[in-house]
Amino acid sequence: MKEDMILLREIERYLEGEMNEQEKTAFDELRHTNPLINKQVEEHQLFLQHLGNYGQRQALQAQMDKIHQQLDLPTLRKQAQEGNQTAKRLSIRRKTITNLAAAACIALVTSLTTIAILQNVAKNKSTAQYEDVRRVLNNIQRSQNALINDINKKSKAPTNPGTYGGTGFAVSGNGYIVTNYHVVAGADSVYVQNNKGEAFKAVSIFEDISSDLAILKIADSTFKSQPLPYTLKPQSVKLGEEVFTMGFPRDEIVYGKGYISAKTGFNGDTTAYQVSIPVNPGNSGAPLLDSKGDVVGIVTGKQTTSDGIAFAVKSAHLKHLLDEMPKDKQTRREWSHKSHLDGLNRVDQIKKLEDFVYMVKVYN
Amino acid sequence: MKQNQDITRDRELLLGLAKGDDKSLEIIYSENFPVVLRMILQHNGSEDDAKDVFQEAIIVLYEKVHNSDFTLSSRLKTFLYSVCRHLWLKKMQRTYGLYALSPELEEIIPATEALDDHAAKDEQFRIMEGAMGSIGQPCQTILEDYYLHKKSMQEIAEKFGYTNAENAKNQKYKCLMRLKKLFFDQYNTSL
């Protein structure tokens, strides 16, 4: 115990630099030779360092406490509370704004979606209202057709009635026939058949999708050309003018009578008329004629939502189309002559007309 | 530019703090305490909590500036604020377990590394404090007067009524040996 104390005193003197040169070298020597003492010295150094840190920190603490007491705490407290309250209020307000913004976004998206859906539905509806009047031929008609073909042996047309049917009419004496594009669209082969039951093979030589018209050419040696009794009327007809049509909604030619009910077609289409006339699937491509027997339009479709409303492409458009056709496919112009049907009564007109109206049968 | 100027001023304050300049400490203390107080109050702490946390942060800062390789990279205010946040977070974790933590406090706090050293230093301080507290009087005062307040043995002998400085010195060594024993007992077990 006593020795420890002496050693401690020596160490302290050594560390504090109180030893004279001689003692110091002796002590250094001692540290060098005796690791135990060396360890004690190092330990003491460490201890003094910790003690120093402790002292510094205590002093600091005391100083800080002093400063802290000088602070105007009530004021600080008040400020802090006020600050926190405003912060809270702000954060609440911010939360509210965020929520409102989110709600507004959702509302916006919802309404836009609704509008889009409604518009889409409206569009779908309007397309649904329009119906092509080509005919899907069924088995019963096939048997009838077979019967007709049986009677008219000279026809080489296949007994199969085809997948779709429509109507077409001659636009020249030498076998050019106009019908609707939607009748012949996607066709493998096309046959036209007149009211006598004679069928001819035809090929589509020109198609105009925008006006829904197609020009067919009869490519059959058995076809005999004959002059047209009617003309194409390029001027547009007046509202309320009486018109009639002849088509093949069944395997028999059917006469229909009506009047021009509007000068534009479906959804304001200016290339067409609205016609109040009974049409049925199969009437597509049928000619629309005025009382003088001039062609004023081509029946294309009808409105599904109401009865008796049909649409017909204006003859002016057909004329335009014929003019546009490539030269080598040009029809012979036979429109200049005067209509042979003018002045005849309707029964005679029909009698003359029916040879030039064809049933178009499409195979695909 | 303003921020640069601020950081220059902060650095000067730190230099003052390292030198033990009371004025610097006072400025740092009074300028930054209100912010910390507000933060602690906002997170369900009391004024005393704020005081403890803030003073600990100052101690951390103090230890840092005594470490020569410390350079202030952010504003002093930011540094103290983040250290305080971190300390408060730890305290909350200790007191309430994990569940009472407000999510704002769980943000990543950049002061983590600043506090690693501090934990060890703090531990050493506690050991020394404990040892000092248990050696009793007059030992504690004699040792504090000699080693911390740097009083001479003569003064101490007079203060405590020893006949001469040599007696006081002997007493001091006895006290010192007890303190060392107490300290190293704890110190070595804690390491």
Chain B residues contacting A via beta carbons under 8 Å: 22, 25-26, 29-30, 33-34, 37-38, 41-42, 47, 51, 55, 58-59, 62, 121, 124-125, 128-129, 132, 143-144, 147-148, 169-170, 173-174, 176-177, 180, 183-184, 187
Query: Does residue B177 sit in the same domain as residue B144?
Result: yes
In this structure, are strands A295-303 and A164-170 parallel, antiparallel, or unpaired?
unpaired
Interchain proximity A84–B42, CB inside 8 Å: yes
The residue among B77, B110, B143 that closes a domain is B110
The pLDDT, as a whole number, for residue A139 is 46
Res B43 pLDDT > 70: yes
CA atoms within 13 A on the CB side of A138: 4
Nearest chain B residue to A55, by CA: B148
Note the pLDDT of residue B22.
79
The mean per-residue pLDDT over the stretch B169-189 comes to: 78
B124 and B183 in a common domain: yes
Separation CA A156–CA A201 (nearest Å):
9
Task: Enter the CATH code of domain A135-363.
Answer: 2.40.10.120
3-state secondary structure of A251: coil
CA trace torsion A277, A281, A285, A286 (10° rounding): -50
E strand or H helix at B41 = helix B22-42
Last residue of a domain, one of B82, B110, B138: B110
Distances B183 to A49, A336, B14, B57, B123 between C-alpha atoms, Å: 12, 129, 31, 25, 12
Confidence band, pLDDT 50/70/90 cuts, at residue A114: very high
> Amino acid identity, residue B39?
M
Sign of CA dihedral A346, A348, A354, A357: negative
CATH code for the domain of B124: 1.10.10
Which pLDDT tens digit goes with each residue over A275-334?
888 888 888 888 999 888 888 899 888 877 777 788 888 888 888 888 877 766 555 555
What per-residue confidence (pLDDT) applies to A149?
A: 47
Amino acid at B49: D
What's the pLDDT score for residue A1? 60
In this structure, what token pair is assigned to residue A343? 């002045």
Q: What is the mean pLDDT of residues A327-353?
A: 72
Tens digits of per-residue pLDDT, A245-256? 988 888 888 888
- For an interface test with B, the pick among A3, A44, A60, A88 (most B C-beta atoms closer than 10 Å) comes out as A60
What confidence score (pLDDT) does residue A104 get? 94
Identify the sign of the CA torsion A60, A66, A67, A71: positive
Domain shared by B155 and B136, yes or no: yes
| Domain count within chain B | 2
Residues B92, B169 share a domain: no
Q: Which of B52, B83, B110 is the last residue of a domain?
A: B110
Does one domain contain both B128 and B104?
Answer: no
Reported as a single tens digit per residue, the pLDDT across B89-132 is 777 777 765 555 555 544 544 555 666 677 777 777 888 888 87
Is residue B84 located within the same domain as residue B135? no
Looking at residue A232, the DSSP 8-state letter turns out to be B
Give the pLDDT score at B191.
58
For A71-96, b where at least 16 C-beta lie within 10 A, e where not — what string?
A: beeeebbeebeebeeeeeeeeeeeee
Per-residue pLDDT tens digits for A196-228: 888 888 888 888 888 888 888 888 888 877 888
Helix (H) or strand (E) holding B59: helix B47-66
The CATH number covering residue B68 comes to 1.10.1740
For chain A, state the CA radius of gyration: 52
Which residue type, as a one-letter code, is found at position A24?
A: K
Instruction: Please state the separation of Cα A101 from the chain's center in Å.
Output: 30
Give chain A's largest Cα–Cα span.
155
Tell me the residue type at A356. F
In whole angstroms, give the CA distance from residue A288 to residue A131. 18
**Shortest Cα–Cα distance, B58 to chain A (Å):** 9
d(CA A136, CA A163): 6
Q: pLDDT tens digits, residue range B29-41?
A: 888 888 888 888 8
Active-site annotation of A, residues: 182, 212, 284
Which residues of B are less than 8 Å from A15 in CB distance?
Answer: none
pLDDT exceeds 80 at position A131: no
Tell me the pLDDT tens digit for each residue of A149-174: 444 544 444 455 567 788 899 888 78
In this predicted structure, the answer to whether residue B174 has a pLDDT above a threshold of 90 is no
Same domain, B181 and B104: no
E runs forming strands in A5-129: none
pLDDT, residue B138, reads 77
Structural domain span for residue B186: 115-190
Residue A59, helix vs strand vs coil: helix
Specify whether B139 is located in the same domain as B80. Answer: no
Interface residue A79 vs chain B (CB under 8 A): yes
Percent of chain A, pLDDT > 70? 86
Whether B37 sits inside 8 A of A67 (CB atoms) is no
Residue A181: count of CB within 10 angstroms of its CB: 21
Collapsing DSSP states into helix, strand and coil, what is residue A287?
strand
∠ CA B54-B28-A91, nearest 5°, is: 60
Query: Is a pLDDT exceeding 60 seen at residue A144?
Result: no
DSSP A131-180: EE--EE--HHHHHHHHHHHHH-TT--S-SS--SEEEEEEESSTTSEEEEE
Tokens for A171, please give them: 């636009």
- Cα–Cα nearest to A206, from A296, A356, A323, A314: A323
Q: Do B132 and B83 fall into the same domain? A: no
Kindly state the DSSP code that residue A237 receives in the 8-state scheme. P
C-beta atoms of A67 and B177 within 8 A: no
The pLDDT, as a whole number, for residue A105 is 94
Whether A43 contacts B3, CB under 8 Å: no
pLDDT score recorded for residue B114: 61
What pLDDT, on the 0 to 100 scale, is given for residue A150?
A: 46
Task: State whether B148 and B178 are in the same domain.
Answer: yes
Q: What ipTM was estimated for this complex?
A: 0.74
Is 70 exceeded by the pLDDT of residue A351? yes
> Is A84 close to B33, i.e. CB distance below 8 A?
no
Q: Measure CB to CB from residue B29 to each of A44, A50, A64 and give the nearest one.
A: A64
pLDDT at A221: 80
pLDDT in tens, A25-73: 877 887 788 887 788 788 888 888 888 888 888 888 888 888 888 877 7
Q: Where are the beta strands (DSSP E) in B2-57?
A: none
Q: Is the pLDDT of residue B162 over 70?
A: yes
The size of the A-B interface in CB pairs under 8 A is: 88
Q: Which residue would you say has higher pLDDT here, A242 or A56?
A: A242
Residues of A in Cβ contact (< 8 Å) with B16:
none
**Same-domain pairing of B53 and B122:** no
Residues in contact with A316: Cβ distance below 8 Å, sequence separation at least 6, in sequence order: A234, A235, A236
Segment A66-94 shows an average pLDDT of 77
The overall average pLDDT reported for chain B is 75
Residues B8 and B72 reside in one and the same domain:
yes
One DSSP character per residue, A305-349 reads: SSTTEEEEEEHHHHHHHHHHS-GGGPPP---SSPPTTTT--HHHH
What are the tokens at B186?
């704890």
The yes-or-no verdict on residue A2 having pLDDT over 70 is no
